[in-house]
Each structure stands twice: as structure tokens, then as C-alpha cells.
Amino acid sequence: MRVITLEKKYSIWGWIFVAPASLLIFVMSFYPMIQAFILSLQTGRGNNLKITGLRNYIRLLEDEQFRTAVGNVFIYLIIQVPIMLFMALILASILNGQRLAFKGFFRTLVFLPCATGLVAGAIIFKSFFSVDGLVNMVLMRTGITAERVEWLTRPNLAKGIIILVITWRWTGYNTIFYMAALQTIEKSIYEAARIDGASAIQQFFRITLPLLRPVILLTTIMSTNGTLQLFDEVRSMTNGGPGIATLTISQYIYNLCFVYSPQFGYAAAVSYVILVMVAVLSFIQLKVGDRE
């Protein structure tokens, strides 16, 4: 009779417990990804599709709307993500202070935008920055401007508003990560730094930032991933306008599937470009983080 060792029993039971979750992940994630890649190799309108190889990917190189969408997304990424993460670090450091009163209230206040629905928050900001909205009313009554500003119909201003909305929405989310990481740092390190005469700013840059590097790397990758897939805020506030000045890649995929004449194969190819972008940027960030 063959004897099964204890180590092998652990291995068998481990696979038994992992198998259901692995199966669900494959069925709900990896199988659709494989099907989407096969779809990206097909061209046609609606359901009249035929395999044409890499024609959809070649078409991307000549697509002006796609290039505009990529450019817009990288503008959001380059401007918004560093500002948001730096603000989250500052807020986390303040909210983690020992002498701060009403910590629970302020922590709830910072995290509250994350609990607001994406569409609801976008619509609220859209009403604020409409031609007859609250912002224009305040600016005119205080004499800062003599006439109403069309915030959402000017390309640069519309992009700025979208960046503002994203920052407002997700800064508190990243603050929670940094607060959790700050609470794992020994207080004696800061006490020793204060005894040596280090100021609060020196403590932040010489102690806090280096010790939070793994969490900063994690939030940077997550924020990059989220920005590359930006959809709800732009769809609700500007619908990609004026023209295609604020169009994002995800909204372009939506338009290809549901607004224009359905081009599912080409939309799948565009979606795979997002996958490649996320993978490449995440790889670069991981390599830079490892080197530092």
C-alpha cells in the first residue's frame, strides 16, 4: 500500500482549495481575454466578421481619434497621478499625527469622495462648472470675471476640470494605503530623528518617503492602471468633447461598439493596446522601484 506523506497531503488539499477560485478566474478573466484577442484579429461590421490577421493593429497607426485618445490619457496620467499621490502622502502624514484632534472625522471626510458614485460625482462637478453653475456665479459676484466662463466647452479647461474631478475622487483612496503603511513605522525612528534635530520636512523626506517606497510603487501602478482605463468621468461630464478634445481610450472603445456602426474586432484591438500599455508601464515602474 502506497503511503502518502504529510507534505503531499498538504499539497493535494492546497490544490483542492485553490481549484475553485482558479477555475473562476480562468472562466471570468483569462478565457474572455483569449476570446478578445481572437476577436481583435477579425474585421467587419456587427456580426459579419472574418479573420484578417493584424489589419486592426495596422489600422491603429493611422487612426487620428485613437492617437488623440492616447494623447489625452497620457496628459491626465502625467499631470494628475503625481499631484494626487503627493497630496495623498501629505494628507496621510497629517492624519497620522499624534496630536491631531477629531482624527476619525477628518479621515472620514478625506475618504468620503471614494464612497460617492462615479457618475454622481461627475454630474455634480458638471453642474458646478456649467455656464450658469456655482463656480461662474461665485466668480462673477466676487468680480474675478466679468462674464461667464465656458469651462466644459474649451479643450484645455475641460481637461483641467476632469483632472480636478479625478484627483478629488481618488486622493482619499490612496491616502488610506499610506496611512496604513505609516502605522507600521516604528515611532522610535521619528523620536530619534527629533532628538538629532531633524525638522518635520526632513523627517518626511528622509524617513517617511524611503520607508513607504513599496506602497508608493503599488499606488503608482494602480493609479496608472486606473487612469489608462478612465471612462466614467469623461463620459458623464464632456462625452469626449468638445469634439474629441477629452476623449479617452476606454470611451473610444465604447463608441466603436455602441455609438458608431459596431466594429467589435477593432474595439478589441484597441482594448489590447490598453493591456500592453498597462503591462509596459507597470514593468518599468517595478524595475525602477527595484533599482532604487
pLDDT at 174 over 70: yes
φ/ψ region of 198 (left if φ > 0, alpha if ψ in -120 to 50, else beta) reads: beta
pLDDT on residue 81: 94
- For residue 24, the tally of other CB atoms under 10 A from its CB is 10
pLDDT at 198 over 90: no
Per the structure block, which three cell numbers stand in for 216? Answer: 508608493
pLDDT on residue 79: 95
- For residue 68, the tally of other CB atoms under 10 A from its CB is 19
- For residue 196, the tally of other CB atoms under 10 A from its CB is 8
Per the structure block, which three cell numbers stand in for 167? Answer: 484627483
* Model confidence pLDDT, tens digit, residues 155-171: 999 999 999 999 999 99
The DSSP result for 100-130, as a single string, is: -SSHHHHHHHHHHHHHS-HHHHHHHHHHHTS
Compute and round to an integer the Cα radius of gyration of the chain.
24
Q: What is the pTM of this model?
A: 0.86
* Model confidence pLDDT, tens digit, residues 52-98: 888 999 999 899 999 999 999 999 999 999 999 999 999 998 888 77
Q: Which domains does the chain have, with CATH numbers?
A: 6-51 (no CATH), 64-119+158-291 (1.10.3720.10)
Are 219 and 85 in contact by the 8 Å Cβ rule? The answer is yes
How many CA atoms within 13 Å lie on the side-chain side of 237?
35
